[in-house]
């Protein structure tokens, strides 16, 4: 009688082939590609600040952290916060030989021991929004002081967490205000172009920002002037705990988060990061309202000195952005109003002409109208004013036309 032979060798062979196919699917590369949210993440990591990525499930938060750890050559340690007990972060009590004499030490978990032995790494706290309040309370010391039980994480360890909004989290909880206030909150969204190119095998490359050593003192001074200037003018923003539970689980202003913001401004300035990246970081630390006020303060700090512009209009460099150019010209007119002199008045007209030649004409309308009203009887009208007259007249004509159309529409609606 013929017996049936085992098909084990064929099965092993097919599994090997399947493994080869999986290896090919995982074989991807990276390329330098502008990505504001990735740059904001790497900047916060470089500043050694805990980061919390908020995003819907499947958006790529875990994949981004894996790629970041690989790019920075840091061993990645992933801890699912929701499946741990509070003692896993505060330490397990271990009874020694003589507790009355030596006390009861708190033994750290194995992953913390491995991080300390390595001396460096990326600690990824996943599913933070599904961690119950007791676990969140135990995480406070880990995130702020880098301590787990009796161990202290070395300076080479960075902390990044990820969370889903409560509406899309399994048994989700709102973050407690003390824990939320310890993070830089970044909203993680998907870019279709990045996803398509990544699925094709090429993902954006995560790299640490290149800090200019010569800019470090200037960056620190700039950051301190910005934050202290805003809080000096708006002291109520120094600490403002939101009233709603949802907003308390996000970024909000406190002395701790303002200190984090100061660090981020210094790092962004030294790295030459864009305003969009800085906006993500600032609003993700102190919230949208205070963050936007700080960004406006930074814009004003970047404006050229009106006296410098008036001293040499021919060499003046006006801001490119329309709102900043408008603010700079308004500052020039205000400087002439404060110290009205014929030479300064003429210099201001020269600056308005230069603004007309190098940018959109609408920004000169209000400054030109105001400057014309400052003329003294014994001041001759400069020839350059004729180049601006057409712009002002056209603007006024457009305003009258707009007002007439609005009035006609209102009258028609009232019938």
Say if residues 130 and 82 touch (Cβ distance below 8 Å).
Answer: yes
Q: What is the CA radius of gyration of the chain?
A: 30
Residues paired with residue 371 on neighbouring β-strands, in sequence order: none
Give per-residue pLDDT as tens, 133-183.
Answer: 888 888 988 998 888 877 899 999 999 999 888 666 556 678 889 999 999
The Cβ-side half-sphere exposure at 88, using a 13 Å CA radius, reads 14
One domain for residues 370 and 289: no
135 lies in some domain: yes
Which range is least confidently modeled, 27-31, 71-75, 315-319, 379-383?
Answer: 379-383
29 by DSSP, 3-state: which?
A: strand
Least confident of 60-64, 252-256, 292-296: 60-64
Listed residues 179, 204, 229: the one ending a domain: 204
With 50 as the cut, is the pLDDT of residue 362 above it?
Answer: yes
Band of residue 399 on the pLDDT scale cut at 50, 70, 90: very low
Average pLDDT over residues 27-52: 90
Residues 294-321: tens digit of each pLDDT: 998 888 887 888 888 999 988 888 888 8
The rounded distance, in Å, linking the Cα atoms of 263 and 257 is 10
Q: How many residues does the chain have?
A: 415
Q: Where is mean pLDDT largest: 88-97, 161-170, 330-339? A: 330-339
Same domain, 360 and 243: no
On whether both 158 and 240 belong to a single domain, the answer is no
Whether residues 290 and 312 fall in one domain? no
* 276, 332: one domain: no
- Which CA distances in Å does 177 have to 182, 257, 354? 9, 12, 51
> What's the CA gap between 227 and 271, in Å, rounded?
18
pLDDT digits (tens, 9 = 90+) for 260-290: 999 999 999 999 999 999 999 999 999 999 9
Residue 24 lies in a domain: no
Is the residue at 17 inside a domain? no
Within 94-188, strands assigned E span 106-107, 120-126, 147-148, 151-152, 156-163, 184-187
Instruction: With respect to residue 125, please indicate whether it lies within any of the assigned structural domains.
Output: yes
What is the spatial distance between Cα 142 and Cα 47, in angstroms, rounded to a whole number? 17
How far is residue 169's CA from residue 162's CA, in Å, rounded to a whole number? 11
Q: Is there a single domain that holds both residue 188 and residue 231?
A: no
Nearest Cα neighbor of 168 from 129, 124, 133 is: 129
In this prediction, residue 57 carries a pLDDT of 82
| Residues 228 and 171 both lie in one domain | no
Torsion angle of C-alpha atoms 342, 345, 347, 351, degrees rounded to 10: -170
One domain, residues 164 and 221: no
User: Regarding beta strands 156-163 and 29-31, do their DSSP bridges make them parallel or antiparallel, or are they unpaired?
Assistant: unpaired
Contacts 24+ apart (CB under 8 A), 97-106: 105/149, 105/150, 106/149, 106/150
Is 283 within a domain? yes
Percentage of the chain beyond pLDDT 90 is 32
DSSP string, 65-84: HHHHHHHTT--EEEEEGGGS
Average pLDDT over residues 88-100: 70
Q: Tell me: do 267 and 200 sit in the same domain.
A: no
Let me know if residue 363 belongs to a domain: yes
Final residue in a domain of this structure, among 302, 332, 360: 302
Predicted confidence at residue 184, as pLDDT, reads 97
Residue 228 belongs to a domain: yes
Task: Kindly indicate the confidence band of residue 407, based on its pLDDT and cuts at 50, 70 and 90.
Answer: low
Residue 234 sits in which domain range? 213-302
| Structure tokens, 399 | 């305003």
**Residue 258 structure tokens:** 């303002």
Q: Is the pLDDT of residue 395 over 50?
A: no
Question: Between the CA atoms of 209, 212, 213 and 214, what dihedral angle is there, to the nearest 10 degrees?
Answer: -160
- Is pLDDT at 401 greater than 70 in this prediction? no
What is the β-pairing status of strands 76-80 and 120-126? parallel
Position 8 scores a pLDDT of 52
Residue 25: inside a domain, yes or no? no
With cut-offs at 50, 70 and 90, classify the pLDDT of residue 400. Answer: very low
Same domain, 312 and 390: yes
Same domain as 366, residue 319:
yes
Q: What is the pLDDT of residue 386?
A: 65
Count, in order, helices (H) and strands (E) of the chain: 19, 11
Beta strands in 280-371 (DSSP E): none
Contacts of 401 (CB under 8 A, 6+ apart): none
Would you state the pLDDT for residue 133? 87
Domain match, 44 and 191 both: yes
Look over the chain and give the mean of its residue pLDDT values, rounded to a whole number: 83
Tally of structural domains, the chain = 3
Give the separation between CA 124 and CA 143, rounded to whole angstroms: 11
pLDDT at 95 over 80: no
């Amino acid at each position: 009688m013929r017996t049936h032979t085992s098909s084990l060798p064929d099965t092993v062979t097919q599994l090997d082939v399947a493994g080869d196919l999986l290896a090919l699917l995982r074989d991807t590369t990276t390329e330098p590609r502008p990505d504001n949210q990735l740059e904001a993440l790497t900047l916060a990591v470089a500043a050694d600040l805990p980061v919390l990525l908020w995003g819907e499930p499947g958006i790529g938060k875990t994949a981004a952290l894996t790629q970041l750890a690989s790019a920075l050559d840091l061993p990645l340690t992933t801890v699912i916060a929701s499946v741990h007990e509070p003692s896993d972060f505060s330490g397990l009590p271990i009874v020694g030989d003589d507790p009355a004499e030596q006390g009861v030490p708190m033994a750290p978990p194995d992953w913390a021991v491995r991080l300390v032995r390595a001396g460096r790494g990326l600690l990824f706290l996943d599913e933070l929004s599904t961690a119950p309040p007791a676990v969140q309370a135990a995480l406070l010391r880990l995130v702020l002081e880098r301590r787990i039980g009796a161990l202290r994480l070395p300076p080479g360890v960075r902390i990044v967490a990820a969370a889903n909004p409560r509406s899309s989290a399994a048994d989700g909880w709102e973050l407690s205000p003390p824990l939320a206030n310890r993070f830089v909150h970044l909203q993680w969204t998907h870019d279709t172009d990045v996803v398509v190119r990544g699925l094709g095998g090429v993902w954006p490359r995560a790299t640490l920002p290149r800090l200019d050593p010569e800019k470090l003192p200037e960056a620190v001074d700039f950051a301190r002037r910005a934050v202290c200037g805003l809080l000096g003018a708006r002291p109520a923003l120094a600490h403002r705990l939101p009233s709603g539970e949802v907003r308390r689980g996000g970024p909000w202003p406190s002395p701790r988060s303002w200190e984090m913001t100061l660090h981020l401004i210094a790092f962004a300035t030294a790295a030459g990061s864009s305003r969009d990246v800085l906006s993500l970081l600032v609003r993700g630390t102190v919230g949208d309202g205070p963050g936007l006020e700080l960004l406006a303060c930074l814009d004003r700090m970047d404006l050229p000195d009106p006296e410098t512009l008036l001293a040499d209009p021919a060499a003046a460099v006006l801001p490119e952005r329309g709102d900043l150019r408008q603010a700079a010209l308004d500052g020039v007119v205000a400087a002439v109003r404060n110290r009205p002199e014929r030479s300064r008045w003429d210099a201001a007209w020269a600056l308005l002409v230069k603004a007309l030649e190098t940018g959109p004409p609408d920004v000169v309308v209000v400054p030109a109208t105001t400057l014309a009203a400052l003329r003294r009887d014994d001041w001759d009208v400069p020839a350059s004013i004729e180049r601006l007259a057409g712009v002002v007249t056209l603007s006024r004509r457009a305003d009258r036309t707009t007002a007439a159309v609005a009035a006609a529409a209102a009258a028609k609606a009232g019938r």
